[in-house]
A and B are shown apart, each in its own frame.
Chain A
Amino acid sequence: MKIRGLLLLALLLNACAAPDRIVLLPDDHGRVGKLNVGNAGGDTLLDSAYATASASGGRKAEAGRTDPQAVNQEFGTVLAALPPAPYSNMLYFKNDTDDLTDESRDYARNELKQKIAGFPAPEIVLIGHTDTVGGDEFNDRLSLERAKVVKQLLIGLGFDAAHISVAGRGKRELLVPTADGVAEPRNRRVEVLVR
């Protein structure tokens, strides 16, 4: 009897509790994804901007809708705490070397430096690539050398070596698909990923 009473109390409390709320938002590019809200009562799919679901006590979530003003009022603090979106770009190299092109060197020293400085506790990933001239072993080494050259440049600009990682992918991941043995400037690159 006692246990039954407790169960009843728990059910009542659960029914009185405010429901969990879920809001689907457009991302920074205006795209809207999908979200399935599931529990013992069933599934509710959210697939449009500002669609909402309210769920409590194992009952199927109720679909609804909100608007940007209400979202800012209710969720302004948590939205303001989102970290900056990760940034990525390419640096290009002169033929058969680990020398950056003049444009890429300028870009790295100015715009890229400022961009990275805007990140709290920045982490930087550098992935080197080559075009298809030369063998795999040569290109694996050259692609890694290119990433290391960019790492040294960024260290020289004041960024922490401990938070810069490098990798070389040789000629496996071409930006512009070509036959083997083709000199293609756009494939001679280092991807810079900052988060």
Chain B
Amino acid sequence: MKAMLFGVLCAALLSAAAGADEVAGVFKVVKGGVSLQRQGASLPAAVGMPVYQSDLVITAADGSAGITFEDNSLLSLGPSSRLSLDRFNFNSTTHAGAFETTLSSGKLAVVSGKIAHQQLDAMKVRTPSSILGVRGTKFLVEVGAR
């Protein structure tokens, strides 16, 4: 029983690690100051740079950025914005997956892709006040000044 539990735990850890290793999306637009926080380090963003699950994207007061994801979702951030990529996984054959982000400040534009199309509420955006359940396709979010 113990061995089995250990096996299950190992499998869960391995699959979590595999999910974090896969490219979730790629920067297509980078204007002004845009950076990424990944595992405690801050990296300047550039067009062509990949993003992964758990990354935090930050734009400066003069910054904006656009990212295309593996499921064809398109996201962009306006100036002075913070978006964390809480969860991204996508099966390119079945189109099943999950895509969850948190906008903690600033402005976000979204054109949802195959994940939201395939499954109701598989795509979520959190804001300080609410959770948005996405059933397609194009929308805007602004977090109120605090």
Contacts and interface: CB of A to CB of B under 8 A. Distances in A.
Given A17-B146, A33-B137, A81-B77, A121 B26 contact: yes
B144 interface: yes
Contact of A78 (B27, B47, B109, B116): B109
A83 B138 contact: no
Interface residues of B, number: 47
Q: Which of A26, A27, A35 has the most CB of B within 10 A?
A: A35
B130 interface: yes
Contacts of A83: 28-29, 66-68, 74, 76
A17 B145 CA distance: 6
A19 B78 contact: no
Contacts of B48: 120-121
B143 A20 contact: yes
Nearest to B139: A24
Given A79-B76, A81-B65, A121-B27, A35 B140 contact: no
A82 B146 contact: no
Report whether over half of chain B's contact residues are helix, strand or loop; otherwise say mixed.
strand
Nearest to A53: B130
Interface in A7-66: 13, 17-28, 31-39, 46, 53, 55-58, 61
B145 A75 contact: no
Contacts of A32: 137
A192 to B, nearest CB: 14
Interface string A63-104: 000000001001101111111111000000000000000000
A81 B109 contact: yes
Given A27-B137, A34-B135, A55-B129, A81 B64 contact: yes
B27 A22 contact: no
Given A20-B142, A123-B68, 8 more contacts: A27-B136, A31-B137, A32-B137, A38-B130, A78-B140, A82-B74, A83-B74, A83-B76
17 contacts: A13-B146, A20-B130, A21-B140, A22-B130, A25-B138, A35-B134, A56-B129, A61-B130, A75-B107, A75-B109, A79-B76, A81-B77, A82-B66, A83-B29, A120-B29, A120-B47, A121-B27
